[in-house]
Amino acid sequence: MNFIGIDLGGTKIEGALLDQNHTILERRRVPTPRDYNGIVRAIRDMVEHIGYGDCTLGVGTPGTTGPDGLITNSNTRAIRGMPLLRDLREATGMDIRMGNDADCFTAAEAGMGAGAGFETVFGVIMGTGVGGGLAVRGHMVLGRAGGAGEWGHSILHPGGNMCWCGQRGCVETYISGPALERRWEQETGSRMSVPDIVSAEPPGFTIWRDAIVSDFGLALSGVVQVVDPDIIVLGGGLSNIPFLYDMGAAALHQNTLQGGTPILRNMLGDSAGVVGAALLGAETW
């Protein structure tokens, strides 16, 4: 038995085939289509391309599948309100388990990555959006509506930036990748990618960095005060920002009574989400 995992992201769809030892046998990436039908076809084609033999299939998506079978709370506009699970089952002819992408990341890192051996792991995704997941003793905590760990839509600054979810001041509108790039353009008048800003440290960098550090520490402090995890594991494109692990951690510790919660880099890199989706399909979490 092999395990197929699909990680549906805002900019790319990644698929991988794992064997029973969780070794990746096949891996493929394609750009995420802008339209819903294109997404369904792309995932179907990927499953056909990488799968062989008896396989299970797990899919990680932004957002969650509600009781009505429709996708909710997703920052990928094309799939909002759509019966993605039903349509993928019809397109692939396979039984599918579907879960939140941040939960897939957290399950993989808690079981096989930086969180292995820890009792309580909070996984953080910071990229196009901001999400999170909670693993306790090797099991994912999903919550009543499947939204446990979604700190990206906690209110960081009341009345602040408008979020696609309809609220103002969400964490995601301040420390996601697009939010950091908008902030840079507003402060400096120039357009740059986050990696370019971090590597070049151009004029204005210190002010921009310090604001991010402050928001990051304050936003995560609520999670730590409520959950008190053993560790926090960072994933997503912004997990490559080095100052989150020292200055960001210091800002977190200043805002919590417990203090000292370690913030670790992920160990599985870009593979974490797709590995977690494969483990979901295999019903290991």
Amino acid at 237: G
Domains 2-103+270-281 and 117-265 share a fold: yes
75 has pLDDT over 90 = no
Q: pTM of the full predicted structure? A: 0.93
- Which helix (H) or strand (E) segment holds residue 8: the answer is strand 2-8
Whether the CB-CB separation of 51 and 1 falls below 8 Å is answered with no
Choose which CATH entry (3.30.420.40, 3.40.640.10, 3.40.47.10, 3.30.930.10) describes domain 2-103+270-281.
3.30.420.40
What is the distance between the alpha carbons of residues 199 and 209, in angstroms, rounded to a whole number? Answer: 12
Q: Cα separations (Å) of 133 from 24, 86, 94, 150, 254?
A: 23, 24, 26, 7, 23
Using DSSP, state whether 279 is helix, strand or coil.
Answer: helix
Ordered by start, the domain boundaries in the chain are: 2-103+270-281, 117-265
Report pLDDT digits (tens) over 93-144.
999 999 999 999 999 999 999 999 999 999 999 998 999 999 999 899 999 8
pLDDT interval class at 271 (50, 70, 90): confident
Using DSSP, state whether 280 is helix, strand or coil.
Answer: helix
Environment class of 88 (CB within 10 Å of its CB; exposed 0-12, middle 13-18, buried 19+):
buried
What the block records as the tokens of 257 is 């009574």
Which of 179, 255, 176 has its CA nearest to residue 214? 255
Using DSSP, state whether 170 is helix, strand or coil.
Answer: strand
Using DSSP, state whether 159 is helix, strand or coil.
Answer: coil
What is the distance between the alpha carbons of residues 275 and 280, in angstroms, rounded to a whole number? Answer: 9
117-265, what's its fold? Nucleotidyltransferase; domain 5 (3.30.420)
What is the distance between the alpha carbons of residues 111 and 133, in angstroms, rounded to a whole number? Answer: 13
Task: Check the CA dihedral 54-60-66-68 and report its sign.
Answer: negative
pLDDT interval class at 50 (50, 70, 90): very high
11 has pLDDT over 90 = no
Helix residue ranges per DSSP H, 33-169: 36-50, 84-92, 101-112
Average pLDDT of the segment spanning 17-33: 94
pLDDT interval class at 160 (50, 70, 90): very high
